[in-house]
Amino acid sequence: CLDEEGKVHEFHSSWRTNDCNDCSCYRSGISCCTSYMTPVNYDKEKCDSIFNKETCSYKVVEKDDYSKECPVHSWVG
């Protein structure tokens, strides 16, 4: 399989892209999906969601104090 960056991958191999997608190579082609969950149910007026590209994860924190995490009631991904 040839990925969008021009790298060749063997059939039945898996890898993570720089954009935090998990991909797999099959004879029928490449399949990719996000490797992270996105917060969707939290207090958006009081809190910010911040994506960490190094860990491929979100953290939801208070806008006034980024050291305090906010509760998240549901995630999608």
pLDDT at 43: 98
DSSP string, 9-46: --TT-EEE-TTSEEEEEETTEEEEEESS-EEEES-TTT
Q: What is the pTM (predicted TM-score) of this model? A: 0.76
Structure tokens at 62: 């208070």
Give CA separation, 21 vs 35, 45, 67, 71, 73, in Å: 5, 29, 28, 25, 24
Domains of the chain by range and CATH? Answer: 1-35 (2.10.70.10), 38-76 (2.20.25.590)
Does the structure show a pLDDT above 90 at 77? no
Does the structure show a pLDDT above 90 at 36? yes
d(CA 16, CA 7): 12
